[in-house]
Structure formats: structure tokens, C-alpha cells
């Protein structure tokens, strides 16, 4: 799925809801049940998180690009028996299993999406930074 303005606005609205709830709980004086005024460092972090929320959600849940992690290739051990074996012995050897492939991304249940939204509300800037770093390193 490509990033579009409608997707970005929709996810920014969802992110704003989660960020506002978290910020209001942070400013609530629980003894008197009233909101405390002022802007703190946490508020600035949550503002940045809100801006990164749609992109982080797209990267984790919607990005369909085939990203291959670096693989470690091991040297094959050469055995003396392989060099002297006949064609029939080579045919009877068990074949290696095919390489494992990742399962396609499936839609998540609503409760997993809510849990991920809460995580993205806190870790959005870190996910964005990791994605940009990975993209610069591997492209």
C-alpha cells in the first residue's frame, strides 16, 4: 500500500486520539482530579510522536516491499566421500530443505491494533529513525 494523504490523515487522527489520552493522563492531578497547566518535555516528545505515528504504523503494518535481511553464508564442508561417490550414491542422498520464507502479513484483530497503536504512540520517533537509518544503509 502506498502512502496517500487520506491514509496519512486517517492515521494521524487515530494517533492524535491516543496521544491526547496519554498527555491528559500525564497532566492530571489525581489527588484533586483536575488538569495541571504547562508544557513539559514529555509533551514535546508526544507531539513528535504524533507526527511520526502514521509513518511508523505504515512501516510496520502496511509496507509490502520485499526487504531482505543480510544472510550469513557458510562454507560447505568438502568430504572425501563426495569426490569418490558414484552418480547413484549422489542421487540417493537426502535433498536439503528449501529455504524458509516469511508468511505474508495478515490483517490483525482490533485488540492487537489498539495495543500496537499505544506502542506506536510511545515509540513512533524511534521507529522512524530506525527505518530511515536502515533505508540509508541498505539502498
The percentage of residues in the chain with a pLDDT greater than 70, rounded to a whole number, is 78
CA distance 63 to 3: 9
CA dihedral over 116, 55, 105, 136, signed as positive or negative:
negative
- pLDDT for residue 72: 64
Mean pLDDT of 84-97: 75
CA distance 132 to 139: 11
Q: Per the structure block, which three cell numbers stand in for 95? A: 535433498
pLDDT greater than 80 at residue 121: yes
Q: Per the structure block, which three cell numbers stand in for 17? A: 486520539
Average pLDDT, the chain: 80
3-class SS at 67?
Answer: coil
The answer to whether the CB of 127 falls within 8 A of the CB of 52 is yes
Burial of residue 22, with CB atoms counted within 10 A of its CB: 0-12 exposed, 13-18 middle, 19 or more buried: middle
C-beta neighbour count of 29 within 10 angstroms: 9
- pLDDT for residue 63: 64
Return the DSSP state at 40: -
pLDDT in tens, 48-84: 888 888 888 887 777 666 656 566 666 667 777 777 7
* Confidence tier at 97 by pLDDT (50, 70, 90): low
CA distance 39 to 32: 19
Please tell me the pTM assigned to this model: 0.58
Q: So where are the chain's domains?
A: 1-64+108-139
- pLDDT for residue 120: 85
3-class SS at 28?
Answer: strand
- pLDDT for residue 1: 57
Q: What backbone torsions phi and psi does residue 35 show, to the nearest 5 degrees?
A: -85, 140
- Return the residue matching grid coordinates 562454507: 75
The percentage of residues in the chain with a pLDDT greater than 90, rounded to a whole number, is 1
Amino acid at each position: 500500500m502506498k502512502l496517500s494523504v487520506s491514509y496519512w490523515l486517517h492515521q494521524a487522527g487515530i494517533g492524535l486520539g491516543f496521544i491526547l489520552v496519554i498527555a491528559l493522563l500525564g497532566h492530571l492531578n489525581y489527588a484533586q482530579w483536575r488538569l495541571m497547566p504547562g508544557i513539559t518535555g514529555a509533551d514535546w516528545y508526544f507531539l513528535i510522536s504524533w507526527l511520526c505515528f502514521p509513518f511508523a504504523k505504515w512501516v510496520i503494518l502496511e509496507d509490502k516491499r520485499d526487504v531482505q535481511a543480510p544472510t550469513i553464508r557458510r562454507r560447505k564442508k568438502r568430504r572425501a566421500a563426495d569426490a569418490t561417490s558414484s552418480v547413484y550414491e549422489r542421487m540417493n542422498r537426502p535433498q536439503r530443505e528449501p529455504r524458509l520464507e516469511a508468511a505474508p502479513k495478515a490483517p490483525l484483530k482490533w485488540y492487537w491494533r489498539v495495543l500496537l497503536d499505544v506502542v506506536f504512540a510511545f515509540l513512533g520517533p524511534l521507529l522512524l529513525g530506525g527505518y530511515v537509518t536502515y533505508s540509508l544503509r541498505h539502498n
